Structure 1
Amino acid sequence: MKQNRREFVKNTGLLLGSSLFPYGLFAAPNAKKLNVCLVGLGNYSSVILAPALQMTKHCQLTGIVTGTPSKIPKWQKKYNIPDKNVYNYDTMRLIANNPDIDVIYIVVPTGLHAKYAIEAANTGKHVWCEKPMAKTEAECKSIIDACTKNKVKLSIGYRMQHEPNTQTVIKWANSKPYGKIKSLRAELGYNVGKPAKTWRLDSDLGGGAMYDLGVYPLNAARYTTGEEPISVIAQQMTTRPEIFTETDETTHFTLEFPSGVIAHCKTSLGKSMHELYVNCENGWYTLAPFSMYTGVKGKASDGKLLNQYIESQQAKQMDDDALAIINNTPVIVPGEDGIKDIRIVEAIYKSAKSGTKVNLL
């Protein structure tokens, strides 16, 4: 019985293993590339994701969704996108009838992730959702439920978990080459100067340092320990209340893990910092910078270097996620991982407001 492309992409795939490929996955020699539609043509889509899609081996840009008509001609000309693959937010539901699109990548402000990820799932296409997954745990669950109902894969855009030096740190959570982890420090911040009025300063849309940047040190604390925290205590502040009228400029949070590991984390839109440092019984290791788009590198106390280079984290992320669809295997960062971060983010805001520790059990 013949299957159309949509049925093949959703339901079929060869589970092929080889130690030569990340996570033992690779595509069949004649496998077609997956067709990706970007929802939201802001800076990250235009400057990072669209160029990265030109570098991928297993997917390609074939569609766009935008609320700004003036952007359409430029994108069509640059990426050869036909009229039938161009949508706005009111018509994106019609992607359900378009065989030229296999994956819908949600790249709108965080506060809109749930709305459009659910709409994407309801088209029957696979869903990639940029991090953080959504504003609330309840919204995250609604995305997961929609993808489960429609039998499509869901992947969250945590690019660091696809980056090779970070993947080494993730493996060390289990192998413990420097002994038991005692504590860690994860810090990410930028001095953004005087930012223009953007959605990142809008609380309803998911702005603020914690949502925008803080999920990186939070996610890092979880994958570095291989554990889930049992409590958090947090403090939020701003030195520029005239700018950060609705959102946090800086957030400090401390996570306690079941093994006794304490993670000291910071994130800020007013101070530059960029390091993951892990203190162990028999040494230490660090990544600095630990979440830049390029140049992630580090070292360990015994002189070992973490300096594997890749040209594009986003290209690798999208290829890894495409291979999970093609081979019908688990994605590296599923919705179940994204919802765990947001549950903790909500607890961080609760702790900062109350000034007390919040238990996560």
Structure 2
Amino acid sequence: MAHITLVLPFALPAPEFAPDLTRALQAPALAALLSKTSGRQYRPLDAEARVLPHELWIARALGLARGLVPGVATSAMRGVGLDPGDGMWFVVNPTHIQIARTHLQMGDTRGLDLRETEARALFDSARPCFEEGGYALAWGTRDTWFMRADGWTEIVTASPDAAVNMNLTDWMPSGPQARAFRKLQNDVQVTWFTDPANAAREARGQLPINSFWPWGNASIATEHAQQLVAKAAGKAVARPRVAAFEAPGWLAALAERRLDSLAGLDTLLDDDADWLLACGNVAAPGIAADWSGWLQQMQRLEAELFAPLLALLAKGRIKTVRLVLSHRDGLLETTTTPLAQRKFWRRPTLEPLL
């Protein structure tokens, strides 16, 4: 029987809105999965972390985290067919930064509607800026590129989803290489300011791509070091197989299976493997505090994911279901089994979301 872990970013409602949202949410299958459990634990995010809880959790589950840094770049490169060699690589996301009333702010990259042709043109015009600075820029997908910067070993970066809608003064890359980043960023911004691709974007009512965001740095050496540390500490575990649904580019690149719909869930049950399924459809409304959209996407998961999983548990086709639900400040992890679902004395409730 298969073991399924569901990672659901922003499926845990913000605490101040949780009572109203759980009353409005009609999700009996989720309630059963959350209530009839063999284990449950809430973990707050470390205050020093510059990523979101689910990003760090996934990196740790895949053996890619160094402390509070999810070093996903080299694994993501291999996922899109690139060879990282022996360099230090960063995930690079093209983005839009704007001036808010008193500070710089970055919007959610999901809403940029960056088309393939535009992304290619911007990539090609920015690459000379990187090369002149002694860096390499590699194409992954339209919204996920990779930058080689071997000297940036001490820079401290944040994930774009952690920095979105925040005061960027507190989230910009920092450390000894921060000045080099700012110079490169300025060169790219000047190049993109007059780029025809941005003119075309503005003509169709879209924001220009005016900056890039590096994060998730890793190298083959750091990956090996992390594996050795985990082995020495007795914490080395088998890496789960990864599937992704409506996930950001870096996470889709880590996935063995990229699902176009949740109807493909049955394909994960063909063997007795451990699967980690990351569903990102709730993230955009969660980040934007669009609670009507959040409820809509959670109802979608109830119909297309939670109810089918509960039925498969009842049939004994799944051995365990682990739920990892998060918001900005922490995550809730629960585990249920066919045996736990027989605990008739436990009333199904969404109260664990509070």
Shorter-normalised TM-score: what interval? Answer: under 0.3
Q: Which has the higher contact order (CA 8 A, sep 6+)?
A: 2
TM-score by length of 2: 0.23
